[in-house]
Amino acid sequence: MRKMSPKSLVLFTVFVDVLGIGVVIPVLPFYVGTFNSSPQVVTWLIVAFSFFSFLSAPLLGTLSDRFGRRPVFLVSIFSTFLGWLVFAMGQSLWVLFLGRIIDGLAAGNISTAQSALSDIAKDRNERMHNLGSIGAIFGIGFIIGPLVGGFLGSIDHRLPFQFVAGLAFVNFVLAVFRLPETRKGVFSGQFDISLADPTLPIRSAFRDRALRPTFLAWFLFGTAFAAQQSVFALYMGRLFGSGEVVVGLFMTGVGVMIALNQGFLLKNFWLKRFTEHALEPVLLALLSIAFLVMGLPWFWAFTAGIVLLSAVQPVIRVIMNGRFAHEESRRGELLGMSASVMSLSMIVGPIVAGWLFDIRPFLPFVFAAVVVAFTLALLRRNRGVLA
């Protein structure tokens, strides 16, 4: 059998990781509900993972620059396996939180994959295409994963989490034997322990006037998306009485749209016919509208909002995150900073969404729409800086 290329191996690692996420999301609220807990517990479990991912992301990004992408991949994949295993075995809420904390402590799969795929790119366009390939993998994972998760969850609420743990273990074994190193010149220089400070990338991002608008826009975008994502299944269950299978089917539809956008349309339509600078404000405006429509109390409106969100959000994500991958000498550092900012937004978004959901279920979507509108205003004000 022909040996897989480094790009294929990295993308396969991302696929297994994302497939696990897709399996879990549709059933998470229903699993947590068996512990007689409130909807806010679901969002706080997301916060627990995001908080510890925030703590670890800058260290992992810097370690991957100094010592290579491969060792960081291996640690991160094993952490995913162990975290989901603990979560699946949980008999009480504190064990569930422990599982999410373990996973978050080394959650560097995606940012390290972005660095690895940027390492092997020959030019800026190929780098953007490689980053778009990760988005396509997300789409494929979210096509297959929710279907599997909905089906397994309808049998036993623990079964999807056991399945994900098994997938992560297989991924770890494959990575040990097949995953190559893509970073050149590893083991150079001295490691500075001060880089382990999780606030360092945040402070660096917002201290520099040139970087500040870019990272602020990235944070706001992440906060809005995290807010709606954290209550997605809760909202469908509360307003429309949807169970695991229906939520899984909806998420599969989202995955189809993401795969189409980032696997084909990104390269052959969006970036071919429009500049990144021209696309961003239009797609952000459409994203804000999508969130508002999702918050309307009708099933058809929620469906229309999901379709619009799925069409524009993946493209915006690639364009915005692509800015952090263009500086070769600091690529891992900047992508680590990007991951930290995104992790911070994944803390803020679910906290606010859980609180608003308890007041009125539609309020998290209104919040997301307002935040995206503010992001658009920020981009228009700083067009020269963010170009």
Give the residue carrying structure tokens 């606030």: 199
For the chain, percent of residues with pLDDT exceeding 70: 87
Specify the higher pLDDT residue, 362 or 67: 362
> Using alpha carbons only, what angle is made at residue 316 by residues 314 and 319, rounded to the nearest 5 degrees?
110
The mean pLDDT of 295-310, rounded to a whole number, is: 92
| Of 69, 26, 74, 255, the residue nearest 175 (C-alpha) | 74
Run of H or E including 95: helix 93-105
> Please, which pLDDT band fits residue 37 given cuts at 50, 70 and 90?
confident
pLDDT at 3: 57
pLDDT at 129 over 90: no
pTM for the full predicted model: 0.79
Write the pLDDT tens digit of every residue in 255-291. Answer: 788 777 766 777 777 777 777 677 778 889 999 999 9
Kindly tell me if the per-residue pLDDT of 354 is higher than 60. yes
- pLDDT score of 387: 43
166, 290, 321, 303: which is closest to 242 by C-alpha? 303
Fold (topology level) of 6-178+198-386? Growth Hormone; Chain: A; (1.20.1250)
**Structure tokens that stand for 307 in this block:** 């379709």
Low-confidence winner among 67-76, 196-205, 339-348 (lowest mean pLDDT): 196-205
User: What ranges do the domains of the chain cover?
Assistant: 6-178+198-386
How far apart CA 223 and CA 348 sit, in angstroms, is 6
Q: Is the pLDDT assigned to residue 128 strictly greater than 80?
A: no
Write out the two tokens for 142: 């979210």
Q: Which of 113-117, 168-172, 234-238, 252-256 has the highest mean pLDDT?
A: 234-238
| Residue 343, number of CB atoms within 10 A of its CB | 27
pLDDT-derived band of residue 293, with 50, 70 and 90 as boundaries?
very high
- Smallest CA-to-CA distance from 232 within 66, 135, 138, 353 is with 353
For residues 62-87, give the mean pLDDT. 85
Rounded average pLDDT over 358-366? 94
